């Protein structure tokens, strides 16, 4: 029903010599009922893509299909979608009830049906006691729930979320994340959620679309995107602290980084210019470790500790158990990295090379 298909979707702003292409032929198939998150840094084209699906931006190339209908030329109201915005976009002078009911009134849905839908949404979102209030009398989190309620009552084929949690404080954001997950479990509506926050993306998405510069870098489950990043961009964007990326040159089972030779447990996938990626939690302190790390700084985070240092002239971060006796700045410690946790990338394209 609510599957979304993006086929060679392009967007160019402006015309003639002032034209700027910001989306470069994006392809994605989103099955009915999936919760998918578009994630990437500011300016990568996430909102533009979402707004094109919503019908708020013209599509300048390719096709967008929702529920088996090409929607390129359809008005937002004809697309059977509902959008939740960052700034809530509530009517300030209307009650919570009327805010949720308004869209249905415009669609001439019978009053009794509106009552049923609003009460149902209010129950799901625990807004029952707030229906007579105006948005001014609500907290940020409650306002965002009303904005979601307004989307739910429309019973659309697709929910579109444009950074809906950005205006909430950290605690409320975590709580609302769980509410959105619960909502999706209950309603099962196809959802496209835009965020620049990788934690939000990892925790909410059944799959992630990682974007960079108007292009898709990788589409995959959180496990796949974290476990096998397709490019150095994804490797450094998903995960905090980011994956260590060592630029160097491989020759058999030796990898040279800025004059420092790092022995490998087995031969690199090929010789020449490569980037070797290692997540901070996948290197460990080990007396017989093959790599010498000069420790520069430490950060205690409670359950874990971050150790910042250098392998030759390359920066390297290590995540260790907070209960371990830590090394001290100035120490040189030995690192062990298992073969299965080494990620290889082409030195010039940044694309993954299978080892
Ligand atoms: P994101 O949501 O990932 O931050 P956007 O989709 O808002 O990115 O923007 C993508 C690119 O398109 C940016 O480089 C931005 O400057 C440009 N852009 C957005 N809206 C317009 C516009 N109306 N006219 C020209 N360029 C725009």
Distances 241 to 39, 293, 340 between C-alpha atoms, Å: 17, 17, 20
CA 45 to ligand 1: nearest atom = 6
**Average pLDDT, integer, range 21-37:** 97
The model carries a pTM of 0.93
Query: Any idea which architecture 241-346 has in CATH?
Result: Beta Barrel (2.40)
pLDDT of 1 strictly over 90: no
Among 184-188, 202-206, 305-309, which stretch is predicted with the lowest mean pLDDT?
184-188
pLDDT in tens, 315-326: 999 999 999 999
Q: What is the pLDDT of residue 171?
A: 85
Burial class from Cβ neighbours inside 10 Å (0-12, 13-18, 19+) for residue 349 reads exposed
CA atoms of 208 and 348, how far apart (whole Å): 25
pLDDT bucket at 86, cuts 50 / 70 / 90: confident
Q: What is the CATH code for 4-11+25-233?
A: 3.40.50.300
Task: Report the distance separating Cα 141 and Cα 165, nearest Å.
Answer: 9
pLDDT at 355: 73
Pocket test for ligand 1, best of 10, 45, 195 (most atoms within 8 A of CB): 45
Residue 234: strand, helix, or coil:
helix
Q: 116-120, 167-171, 194-198, 264-268: lowest mean pLDDT where? A: 167-171
Q: Which atom of ligand 1 is nearest to the CA of 50?
A: 6
Domain ranges in the chain are: 4-11+25-233, 241-346
Kindly state the helix (H) or strand (E) to which residue 225 belongs, with its residue range.
Answer: helix 222-227
Q: What is the mean pLDDT of residues 332-350?
A: 97
pLDDT at 88: 77
Which atom of ligand 1 lies at the shortest distance from residue 214's CA?
A: 10
Mutate which of 17, 19, 43 to test ligand 1's pocket (most atoms within 8 Å of Cβ)? 43
Kindly report the average pLDDT of the chain as a whole number: 94
Q: What is the mean pLDDT of residues 280-293?
A: 95
Q: Percent of the chain beyond pLDDT 70?
A: 100
**Looking at ligand 1, which atom is closest to the CA of residue 51?**
6
pLDDT at 176 over 90: no
Residue 294's pLDDT is: 97
Confidence of residue 53 (pLDDT cuts 50, 70, 90): very high
Site residues for ligand 1, CB cut-off 6 Å? 13, 20, 22, 40, 42-48
């Amino acid at each position: 029903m609510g599957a979304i298909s993006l086929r060679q979707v392009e967007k160019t702003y402006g015309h003639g010599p002032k034209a700027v292409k910001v989306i470069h032929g994006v392809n994605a198939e989103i099955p009915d009922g999936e919760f998918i998150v578009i994630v990437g840094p500011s300016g990568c084209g996430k909102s533009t893509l979402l707004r094109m699906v919503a019908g708020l931006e013209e599509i300048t190339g390719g096709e967008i299909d929702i529920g088996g209908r090409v929607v390129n030329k359809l008005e937002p109201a004809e697309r059977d979608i509902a959008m939740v915005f960052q700034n809530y976009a509530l009517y300030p002078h209307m009650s919570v009830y009327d805010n949720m009911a308004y869209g249905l009134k415009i669609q001439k849905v019978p009053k009794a049906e509106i009552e049923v839908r609003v009460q149902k949404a209010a129950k799901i979102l625990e807004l029952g006691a707030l229906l007579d209030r105006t948005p001014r009398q609500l907290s940020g989190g409650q306002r965002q729930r009303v904005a979601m309620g307004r989307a739910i009552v429309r019973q659309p084929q697709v929910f579109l979320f444009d950074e809906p949690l950005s205006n909430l404080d950290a605690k409320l954001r975590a709580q609302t994340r769980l509410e959105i997950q619960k909502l999706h479990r209950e309603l099962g509506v196809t959802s496209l959620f835009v965020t620049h926050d990788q934690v939000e993306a990892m925790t909410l998405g059944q799959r992630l679309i990682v974007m960079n510069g108007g292009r898709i870098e990788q589409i995959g489950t959180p496990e796949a995107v974290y476990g096998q990043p397709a490019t150095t961009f994804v490797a450094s964007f998903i995960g905090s602290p980011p994956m260590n990326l060592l630029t160097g040159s491989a020759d058999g089972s030796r990898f040279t980084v800025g004059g420092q030779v790092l022995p490998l447990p087995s031969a690199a996938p090929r010789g020449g210019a490569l980037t070797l990626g290692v997540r901070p939690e996948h290197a460990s302190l080990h007396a017989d470790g093959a790599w010498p790390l000069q420790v520069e700084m430490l950060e205690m985070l409670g359950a874990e500790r971050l150790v910042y240092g250098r392998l030759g002239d390359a920066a390297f971060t290590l995540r260790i158990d907070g209960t371990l006796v830590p090394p001290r700045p100035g120490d040189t410690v030995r690192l062990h990295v298992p073969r299965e946790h080494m990620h290889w990338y082409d030195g010039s394209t940044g694309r993954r090379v299978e080892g």
